[in-house]
Amino acid sequence: MGANVRTPTNPPPGWRPSHDSLSAAAEQGGLADLVEPSSPLVPVLAAAGQRFLRPLHVQVVGRPGAGRDTMARALRERLALTVTGPGEDPRAAADADLWLHVLAGPPRRADHELLSSLPADRIIVVLGKADTHPDWEAATDVARRSSTHLGLPVHVVSQLLACADLDAAEFDALTRLAAERTEMPSMAGRFLVGAPGSAERLLRQGLLRRIDAHGISTALRLIAEESAEAADADALNRALHARSGVPQLGAAFGDRVGRVRFWREVEVRAELERAAARGCDRVNAERLLAAGGVG
Ligand SMILES: Nc1nc2c(ncn2[C@@H]2O[C@H](COP(=O)(O)OP(=O)(O)O)[C@@H](O)[C@H]2O)c(=O)[nH]1
Ligand SMILES: [Mg+2]
């Protein structure tokens, strides 16, 4: 069950966006042109049209600790999306077009409950913190099983690697560690050598906090191989971003654009219905609603 539950707000089965619908005019910024310039509907349509064209807005959800804040940052930085994270302005939630649910492992009861409360046609599910699994393949296995369980695709990401922004000093430190043939121990805590509070220990703590064990071992390997991907801090950050799975989410968002357009058209129609109900150029408001827009 879970996300397969159809909420009452789902579009009718088989709905297809039509090219002569209100949304087509809205997309071209031409909603207000559908009525005479003197119509009191002009400001209503202009405002609805502006809202229709707002940037894609994603709300990040999931259980606390799943990495939601980091995910929100990753979506902003890598995919330039408008994002609301947990605990951010609850009013912004009303503007959400898509919900990105972050799993921290196989779905639990709280995940099912959350997922079934969201619009089923606009959910994207990710298995986050993929870098904390023994390897990427292991994370992919968990995602595959979760996907079967939920009946939804589950994408594998490391939101932390997607946010990598190592500076020149951290890059120099990694270069030194690579030259010393340092390896990332399987117990990450053993990486923290040096006296508590010493510069070496603080540096290593900082690296763990910023890119964690998998990020560090990937960086050390790329630097040791003298890869062009590790030519400098910027290149290394890009290499970590590319391995995070987050850029690849762009396609999943693209696939939902038709759904988002449908729901934005529903909003435009609701505005027109409210205008008609209060007698604001009712004839034309109803004409637009009946014709499905232009025609
Ligand atoms: N290794 C790893 N740690 C992560 C990742 N994403 C978040 N974290 C860490 O998980 C902890 C909680 O992250 P946060 O984004 O605040 O989670 P939230 O409570 O769901 O908002 C922080 O210490 C993050 O650095 C990830 O992709 N990989
Ligand atoms: Mg947090």
Q: What is the pLDDT of residues 216-238, one digit of tens each?
A: 999 999 999 999 999 999 999 99
At residue 6, the pLDDT reads 38
Residues with CB under 6 A from ligand 1: 64-70, 86, 128-129, 131-132, 158-160, 212
> What is the position in ligand 1's atom list of the atom closest to the CA of 213?
1
Evaluate if residue 21 carries a pLDDT over 80. Answer: no
State yes or no: pLDDT of 8 exceeds 50: no
Name residue 288's amino acid. L
pLDDT by residue (tens digit) across 201-217?
A: 999 999 999 999 999 99
Higher pLDDT, 93 or 155: 155
Task: Tell me the CATH number for domain 2-7+20-27+36-160+248-291.
Answer: 3.40.50.300
Atom in ligand 1 nearest the alpha carbon of residue 157? 27
- Structure confidence by residue, pLDDT tens digits, 250-284: 999 999 999 999 999 999 999 999 999 999 999 99
Every domain of the chain and the residues it spans: 2-7+20-27+36-160+248-291, 165-243
The whole-number pLDDT of residue 91 equals 78
Ligand 1 binding pocket mutation candidate from 77, 100, 142, 160 (most atoms within 8 A of CB): 160
Q: Which pLDDT does position 93 carry in this prediction?
A: 76
pLDDT, residue 3, reads 38
pLDDT at 69 over 60: yes
Mean pLDDT (the chain) is 91
Q: According to the model, what pLDDT value does residue 16 have?
A: 52
Q: Which residues hold their Cβ within 5 A of ligand 2, which is an ion?
A: 69
48 confidence band (pLDDT: 50, 70, 90): very high
Whether the predicted pLDDT of 195 surpasses 50: yes
Alpha carbon separation from 157 to 3, 102, 123, 129, 173 (Å, rounded): 20, 9, 16, 6, 26
Give the distance (Å) from ligand 1 centre to CA of residue 193: 23
The pLDDT value recorded for residue 292 is 58
Pair of tokens at residue 178: 């690579």
Long-range contacts, stretch 184-187, CB < 8 angstroms, 24+ apart: 184/213, 184/214, 184/216, 184/217, 184/220
